[in-house]
C-alpha cells in the first residue's frame, strides 16, 4: 500500500507510475479525499479541545459561585458531546474510504522496469542451457502421462471437476521428489528457514500481501470466512505482521513447500488440457524480509536460488524482466523464469521472483528498528517460486522423454526416487 504522505508530496510521480501500468490518474482525487479527512480530523480535535477547556472552566466558575457561567458552559459541553459522535462517524467513514482506495492502487515500478501494456513488452535478460538434442517426436506432458498410465484427468474430474489431476505410482513419487529436492536445496545451501504454516488464513493476512480486497475472485473461501492460500507467500510474509524486527536479524529468509489453491478466474479456455493451470498445485515458496538498502541485491540472490533448481534439473530456461503491464499488483520489479517445454515448442513460466519495497510491510504494519537512528521503518519484502512443483514435473517429463515413451529420471532426483532411473509404462 502506498503512503498518503508520499502521494501528497509526489502527485505527478504517482500518476506517471499509474500510467505505466495502464491505470488512470488518481493523485488529485486522493489528495482531495485526504484533505477532506484532515479537515474532519482537525474539526474533531477542535471540538475535543473546546470540550476539555469548557470542562475546566466549569470547575473554575463553580469555585467562583458563578452559576450562570457554569450553566452556560455545561450547555456548551452537552452540545459538543452531542455533535462529536456524528463527526467521529464521518471521520471513520472517510478513513475507511481512503484506506480502500489506497489498498487498490498497485505498487510503483522501479525506474529500470520496461514500460509496456502486456507480456509482449517483457525483456529476455538471459537464456541458459540448450534444447534437447534428440530426434524423436516431442509430446505434451498429458500425452506422456496418460500413455504411461500414471496421469488421470477423468477420475480427477469425477472427484473435483476440471483443473484437477490424479497422479499415481512413479509420477506421484516424482512430484513429491521434486518438492523435497527444492526444499532441501533452499534450506541446506541457500540459507532459507523451512516453515510449516497454515493453509487457511484470515482476511488480514490476505490484505497484508495484497490479495484483498482487489483479487477476492481469484481465491477460494471456506464457509467459516477463512481463505485457502493461493501461495505460501501469504503465510511466510505475514510471519512478521504487526511486529518490530531488530535490524541485525535482517534479512529473514523463509521457505515452505505447500499446496496452493487458485480459482483461476478469468482464465477460461486457457490451458484447459493437462496440469499447467490447476485449482490445486504444490509450490516451493521463497520469501525474504529485509530493508531498503539490501532489497535489490536480495532480489538478484532470490532469482539465482530459483534458477539453481532448473540448472540442477538440467532444464533449458530463460529469465525475463517483466514490463509494467505484466507485473503483479504488489511488485516493483519481477523476474520470470520460463522453462522450455518441447511438447508445446515454447517457454512457459515456472517461477516468478518479485521485490515489493515496503508495499506489503505497510499493509502488515511490519517494521524494523534502524541501526543508525533507531527509527522505526517498514520492512521491505520479496517473494518468489523456488519453483512451482507441478510445472517442474511437466518440464522434466517433456524434456526427459525417451523414444520408447519412457521418462528418464534426472540424476539429482534419483536419490528421492529410491534409485529409480527411468519411469516406464504401467503393466496391465
Question: Which residues belong to the active site?
Answer: 262, 277, 349, 352, 391
Residue 248 per-residue DSSP state: G
**Pairing relation of β-strands 252-261 and 193-194?**
parallel
- Contact indicator for 219, 230 with CB cutoff of 8 Å: yes
Cα atoms in the Cβ-side hemisphere of radius 13 Å centred on 249: 12
- Contact indicator for 132, 47 with CB cutoff of 8 Å: no
User: 288 - beta bridge partners?
Assistant: 253, 382
- Contact indicator for 247, 291 with CB cutoff of 8 Å: yes
Burial class (CB in 10 A: 0-12, 13-18, 19+), 111: exposed
> Residue 19: helix, strand or coil by DSSP?
helix
Q: Write out the three cell numbers for 157.
A: 474430474
Calpha distance 365→360 (Å, rounded): 8
Radius of gyration of the chain (CA): 28
E strands present in 116-170? 123-128, 151-152, 166-167
Burial class (CB in 10 A: 0-12, 13-18, 19+), 273: exposed
Q: Write out the three cell numbers for 191.
A: 540459507
Amino acid at each position: 500500500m502506498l503512503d498518503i504522505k508520499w502521494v501528497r508530496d509526489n502527485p505527478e510521480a504517482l500518476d506517471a507510475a499509474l500510467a505505466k501500468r495502464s491505470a488512470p490518474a488518481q493523485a488529485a482525487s486522493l489528495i482531495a479525499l485526504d484533505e477532506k479527512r484532515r479537515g474532519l480530523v482537525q474539526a474533531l480535535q477542535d471540538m475535543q479541545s473546546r470540550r476539555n477547556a469548557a470542562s475546566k472552566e466549569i470547575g473554575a466558575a463553580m469555585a467562583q459561585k458563578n452559576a450562570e457561567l457554569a450553566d452556560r458552559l455545561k450547555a456548551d459541553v452537552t452540545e459538543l458531546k452531542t455533535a462529536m459522535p456524528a463527526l467521529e462517524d464521518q471521520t471513520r467513514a472517510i478513513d475507511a474510504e481512503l484506506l480502500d482506495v489506497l489498498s487498490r492502487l498497485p505498487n510503483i515500478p522501479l525506474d529500470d522496469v520496461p514500460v509496456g501494456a502486456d507480456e509482449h513488452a517483457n525483456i529476455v535478460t538471459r537464456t541458459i542451457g540448450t534444447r534437447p538434442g534428440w530426434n524423436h517426436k516431442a509430446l505434451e506432458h498429458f500425452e506422456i502421462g496418460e500413455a504411461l498410465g500414471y496421469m488421470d484427468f477423468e477420475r480427477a474430474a469425477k472427484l473435483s471437476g476440471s483443473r484437477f489431476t490424479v497422479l499415481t505410482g512413479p509420477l506421484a513419487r516424482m512430484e513429491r521428489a521434486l518438492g523435497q529436492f527444492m526444499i532441501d536445496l533452499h534450506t541446506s545451501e541457500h540459507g532459507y528457514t523451512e516453515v510449516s504454516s497454515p493453509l487457511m488464513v484470515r482476511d488480514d493476512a490476505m490484505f497484508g500481501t495484497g490479495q484483498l480486497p482487489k483479487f477476492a475472485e481469484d481465491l477460494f473461501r471456506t464457509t467459516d470466512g477463512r481463505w485457502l492460500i493461493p501461495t505460501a507467500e501469504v503465510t511466510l510474509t505475514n510471519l512478521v505482521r504487526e511486529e518490530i524486527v531488530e535490524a541485525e536479524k535482517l534479512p529473514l529468509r523463509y521457505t515452505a513447500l505447500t499446496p496452493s489453491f487458485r480459482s483461476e478466474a478469468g482464465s477460461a479456455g486457457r490451458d484447459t488440457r493437462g496440469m499447467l493451470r490447476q485449482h490445486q498445485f504444490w509450490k516451493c515458496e521463497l520469501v525474504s524480509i529485509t530493508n531498503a538498502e539490501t532489497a535489490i541485491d536480495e532480489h538478484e540472490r532470490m532469482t539465482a536460488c530459483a534458477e539453481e533448481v532448473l540448472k540442477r534439473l538440467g532444464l533449458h530456461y530463460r529469465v525475463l524482466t517483466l514490463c509494467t503491464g505484466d507485473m503483479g499488483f504488489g511488485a516493483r520489479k519481477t523476474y520470470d523464469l520460463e522453462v522450455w517445454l518441447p511438447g508445446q515448442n515454447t517457454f512457459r513460466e515456472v517461477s516468478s521472483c518479485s521485490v515489493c519495497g515496503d508495499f506489503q510491510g505497510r499493509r502488515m504494519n511490519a517494521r524494523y528498528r534502524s541501526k543508525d537512528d533507531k527509527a522505526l521503518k517498514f520492512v521491505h519484502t520479496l517473494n518468489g517460486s523456488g519453483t512451482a512443483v507441478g510445472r517442474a514435473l511437466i518440464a522434466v517429463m517433456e524434456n526427459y522423454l525417451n523414444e520408447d515413451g519412457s521418462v528418464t529420471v534426472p540424476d539429482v532426483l534419483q536419490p528421492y526416487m529410491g534409485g529409480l532411473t527411468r519411469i516406464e509404462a504401467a503393466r496391465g
